[in-house]
Amino acid sequence: MDHEGKATEAVAAAGVTPQSPTSAVVTSSPPQGRGEAHSTSSAAGTSEASERKSASVGPSRKAKERPEPTEANQLRKYREELCLSQAELARRANLSALTIARIEKGFGCRMSTKRKILEALGLSLADRKKVFGEEE
């Protein structure tokens, strides 16, 4: 099919009957590509966009469930006996102060973290149960 035939088909699809194939006037219409239908009304387009935005933000987000602290350990007692603040112990153990605070509240931690804390307190690895309690 040649170029004029395509133009005639486009005009016929738009509902306009040209008087001759060469003098067909094609009215501009919004481009339709990749199977997407574009709305001619700007109000409909903005409402669709706002619906998409509101669907992505809102109550669909769930807060992460945090594990509850199990049992209190003796870390705070040992830290205070050495007159260390949480920040100072954290610096000595190369950890964050938040990590020290969480462990003192009873949250669990990795074995490597416990080792760092014990070394920073000047205790041996055998003192692990005294400081952190019974482990599972």
Hey, is 135 helix, strand or coil?
coil
Q: How far apart are CA 115 and CA 127, in angstroms?
A: 10
Asked, for residue 85, whether it belongs to a domain, the answer is: yes
Asked, for residue 128, whether it belongs to a domain, the answer is: yes
Asked, for residue 68, whether it belongs to a domain, the answer is: no
Q: How far apart are CA 32 and CA 10, in angstroms?
A: 13
Asked, for residue 54, whether it belongs to a domain, the answer is: no
Q: Do residues 131 and 89 lie in contact, with contact meaning Cβ atoms separated by under 8 Å?
A: no
Number of domains comprising the chain: 1
Tokens of 30: 């919004």
Q: Do residues 89 and 80 lie in contact, with contact meaning Cβ atoms separated by under 8 Å?
A: no
Q: pTM value?
A: 0.50
CATH code assigned at 124: 1.10.260.40
Q: What does the buried/exposed string (b/e) look like for 68-89 if buried means 16 or more CB atoms within 10 Å of the residue's CB? A: eeeeebebbebbeeeebebeeb
Hey, is 49 helix, strand or coil?
helix
Strands annotated E in 7-104: none
Asked, for residue 32, whether it belongs to a domain, the answer is: no
Domain containing 121 equals: 75-132
In order along its 136 residues, the chain shows pLDDT tens digits of: 556 656 556 555 666 555 555 555 555 556 665 655 554 545 555 556 555 555 555 566 676 676 666 667 899 999 999 999 999 999 999 999 999 999 999 898 999 999 999 999 999 999 999 998 876 5
Asked, for residue 57, whether it belongs to a domain, the answer is: no
